[in-house]
A and B are shown apart, each in its own frame.
Chain A
Amino acid sequence: MVGLSTGEKRFIHGGIAQDLRSDGRKRLHFRPFCVETGVIPQANGSARVRLGATDVIVSIKAELGKPSSFQPDKGKVAIFVDCSPTAAPEFEGRGGEELSSELSFALERCFLGGKTGAGAGIDLSSLIIVEGKVCWDLYIDGLVVSSDGNLLDALAAAIKVALSNTGIPKVNVDLGPSPDDQPEVDVSDEEFLQFDTSGVPVVVTLTKVGRHYIVDATLEEESQMSSAVSVSVNRHGHICGLTKRGGAGLDPSVILDMISVAKHVSQNLISVLDSEIAAAEANAKE
């Protein structure tokens, strides 16, 4: 991470205050999204999202597993993020671990809801095969290939696109004679069910610099933040998760304002992503 001089910091602060950032964007403008699907053919679903110089890949694999005893009627989802050293020499060895865990936990909070599974953005009950015995384990793996800020939003968008690209294989279940028997599950190689992504949220991170908040901060702008609030909003305008980062304290009214701004921005983001997904699928078919 390259430091910034006082003059450059002032310039960034001034730009954000005057609603004209260094690359000409207004405070609530995203950089253009570039979306590709199916980049990892051996996964059930995958996507690559580029947002400026930020480049992330998400792959989704479904494996058979046993549901937990607390929630026998729901499947399981685990999210892991890895920061590749190709993104920055600082991520070499274990250097990227802190950032990776922070991103993984933030994403789990946004998509998976509480400990009981309540309010999850991903419908976990659609992953159950035989209640209490067999379910799908979804492993969502994210990889940061290149970083220029706003990793959380890019990863969340990539997860949404990858889920829309995910096909869960159809299974034929043979329950066996007695209810205590382990059922035989035959996984089909050819038929796939598209995952239902209507409830999957997007994440909008608002970075507070000075008195104003910006959306989609670059690495330089992020270095100037006093605090950041990441809000996960779904299509219906419901909030699915919230994370606040940064040491500075925020007035509660400011947080409420940031949430409403995030909701407003997210609706546009969802429609942009939907059209990008449609375009990517059209491209894939060609």
Chain B
Amino acid sequence: MEYVNPLTGFRLDGRRPNEMRQIRGEIGVVAKADGSALFEMGNTKVIAAVYGPREVQNKGQQINNRALVRCEYSMANFSTGDRRRRPKGDRRSTEISLVIRQTMEACILTHLLPHSQIDIFVQVLQADGGTRSACINAATLALADAGIPMRDIVTSCSAGYLCSTPLLDLNYIEDSAGGPDVTVGMLAKMDKVTLLQMDAKLPMDIFENVMQLAIEGCKAVAHYIREVLLEHTKQLECHRGA
């Protein structure tokens, strides 16, 4: 299958190899949550809701010097192309919940909120590749919306290598092609990588290129997220008045 057209260099959906899909973020989609956001990367659509910081519900889990961060990832039955009934707590969901929790925990300033609990719930509405990344981006927006102090904006993007070309932001078809899939999560301003996952195999020098491409994608997403947050903050302040 020609994932990259040898003549034009375009991918199956008409993008160039180093072009990301269209991204869109919206803040405040769940009224009852402390913070919430919708994030779209192409056809992948994810809602994140944050409840907290609030009193720890299960005293046994309380941590005395920092906040307890919990995360749950769920996919809707209709989220994938072939509709499948998803049991709760299956292994993939548990793994992704863990990954998102660790990534967000690394950037939340938990020591400022001792004896409290922060719940992050991520719901996938449509999955078209890059769900992990979309979830992290949505969670960042939701945490910022909830006013939770963070050391930096965490963003995530994926990249792969098909037909001898590094490709940025794989969609589902490209992801299931059997080639490598590198997901990177990074703290944008501090320029530090906090999440790095890869499957399949890649020679080291090509891996560096692909990872660098994913990092560029993360930076582009961070730029967009920062604009969305700034715009939202200005609007809130302007409405509030003196």
- A contacts B: CB pair < 8 Å: yes
Give me the interface of A with B, judged by CB distance under 8 Å: 39-43, 46, 53, 55, 57, 59, 61, 63, 80, 82, 84-89, 92-94, 97, 139, 141, 143, 145-148
Q: A84-B121, A93-B72, A141-B83 are in contact. Are A55 and B30 (CB under 8 A)?
A: yes
**In the assembled complex, B3 has its CB within 8 A of some CB on chain A:** no
Check B32 against A40 for contact (C-beta < 8 Å): no
Contact of A141 among B78, B88, B126 (CB under 8 A): B78
Q: Quote the shortest CB–CB distance from B234 to chain A (angstroms).
A: 26
Binary interface profile of B, 127-156, with partner A (CB < 8 Å = 1, else 0)?
010000000000000000000000000000
What separation, in Å, do the CA atoms of A146 and B32 have in the docked complex?
A: 7
Binary interface profile of B, 47-73, with partner A (CB < 8 Å = 1, else 0)?
111010000010000000000000010
Check A86 against B30 for contact (C-beta < 8 Å): yes
Q: Top 3 nearest A-B pairs by Cβ distance?
A: A59-B78, A86-B49, A85-B121
Q: A41-B43, A86-B30 are in contact. Are A63 and B77 (CB under 8 A)?
A: no
Q: List 5 A-B contacts (CB under 8 A).
A: A59-B78, A85-B72, A85-B74, A86-B47, A141-B76
Identity of the chain A residue whose Cβ is nearest the Cβ of B122 in the assembled complex: A86
**In the assembled complex, B220 has its CB within 8 A of some CB on chain A:** no
Q: A42-B43, A63-B83 are in contact. Are A86 and B77 (CB under 8 A)?
A: no
Q: A85-B121, A89-B51, A92-B119 are in contact. Are A61 and B83 (CB under 8 A)?
A: yes
Count of B interface residues, CB-CB < 8 Å = 29
Q: Quote the shortest CB–CB distance from B33 to chain A (angstroms).
A: 7
Please name all residues of chain A whose beta carbon is closer than 8 Å to the beta carbon of B47 when the two chains form the complex. 84, 86, 145
Apart from A86-B36, A139-B83, A141-B78, what 4 extra A-B contacts exist at CB < 8 Å?
A41-B126, A86-B48, A89-B119, A97-B88
Please name all residues of chain B whose beta carbon is closer than 8 Å to the beta carbon of A82 when the two chains form the complex. 74, 76-77
Check B76 against A143 for contact (C-beta < 8 Å): yes
Q: Quote the shortest CB–CB distance from A146 to chain B (angstroms).
A: 5
Check B31 against A86 for contact (C-beta < 8 Å): no
Identity of the chain A residue whose Cβ is nearest the Cβ of B121 in the assembled complex: A85
Check A80 against B33 for contact (C-beta < 8 Å): no
Check B88 against A94 for contact (C-beta < 8 Å): yes
Check B121 against A92 for contact (C-beta < 8 Å): yes
Contact of B72 among A88, A92, A146 (CB under 8 A): A92
Q: Quote the shortest CB–CB distance from A82 to chain B (angstroms).
A: 6
- Of the listed residues A61, A94, A145, the one surrounded by the most CB atoms of chain B closer than 10 A to its CB is A145
Contact of B32 among A39, A85, A97, A148 (CB under 8 A): A148
Identity of the chain B residue whose Cβ is nearest the Cβ of A95 in the assembled complex: B88
What separation, in Å, do the CA atoms of A55 and B28 have in the docked complex?
A: 13
**In the assembled complex, B81 has its CB within 8 A of some CB on chain A:** yes
Please name all residues of chain B whose beta carbon is closer than 8 Å to the beta carbon of A59 when the two chains form the complex. 76-78
Identity of the chain B residue whose Cβ is nearest the Cβ of A147 in the assembled complex: B32
Please name all residues of chain B whose beta carbon is closer than 8 Å to the beta carbon of A145 when the two chains form the complex. 29-30, 47, 123
Check A93 against B88 for contact (C-beta < 8 Å): yes
**In the assembled complex, B89 has its CB within 8 A of some CB on chain A:** yes
Please name all residues of chain B whose beta carbon is closer than 8 Å to the beta carbon of A146 when the two chains form the complex. 30-33
Binary interface profile of B, 201-217, with partner A (CB < 8 Å = 1, else 0)?
00000000000000000
What separation, in Å, do the CA atoms of A88 and B76 have in the docked complex?
A: 16
Q: Quote the shortest CB–CB distance from A255 to chain B (angstroms).
A: 33
Check B32 against A53 for contact (C-beta < 8 Å): yes
What separation, in Å, do the CA atoms of A215 and B175 have in the docked complex?
A: 48
**In the assembled complex, B239 has its CB within 8 A of some CB on chain A:** no
**In the assembled complex, B85 has its CB within 8 A of some CB on chain A:** yes
Contact of A43 among B30, B51, B78, B89 (CB under 8 A): B78
What separation, in Å, do the CA atoms of A57 and B33 have in the docked complex?
A: 18
What separation, in Å, do the CA atoms of A31 and B209 have in the docked complex?
A: 55
What separation, in Å, do the CA atoms of A127 and B220 have in the docked complex?
A: 47
Q: Quote the shortest CB–CB distance from A7 to chain B (angstroms).
A: 23
Please name all residues of chain A whose beta carbon is closer than 8 Å to the beta carbon of B126 when the two chains form the complex. 40-42
**In the assembled complex, B125 has its CB within 8 A of some CB on chain A:** yes
Please name all residues of chain B whose beta carbon is closer than 8 Å to the beta carbon of A40 when the two chains form the complex. 78, 125-126
Q: Quote the shortest CB–CB distance from A107 to chain B (angstroms).
A: 14
Q: Quote the shortest CB–CB distance from A262 to chain B (angstroms).
A: 28
Q: Quote the shortest CB–CB distance from B88 to chain A (angstroms).
A: 6
Binary interface profile of B, 7-49, with partner A (CB < 8 Å = 1, else 0)?
0000000000000000000000111110010000001000111
Q: Quote the shortest CB–CB distance from A231 to chain B (angstroms).
A: 27
Please name all residues of chain A whose beta carbon is closer than 8 Å to the beta carbon of B30 when the two chains form the complex. 55, 86-87, 145-146
Please name all residues of chain A whose beta carbon is closer than 8 Å to the beta carbon of B85 when the two chains form the complex. 80
What separation, in Å, do the CA atoms of A139 and B32 have in the docked complex?
A: 29
Q: Quote the shortest CB–CB distance from A220 to chain B (angstroms).
A: 13
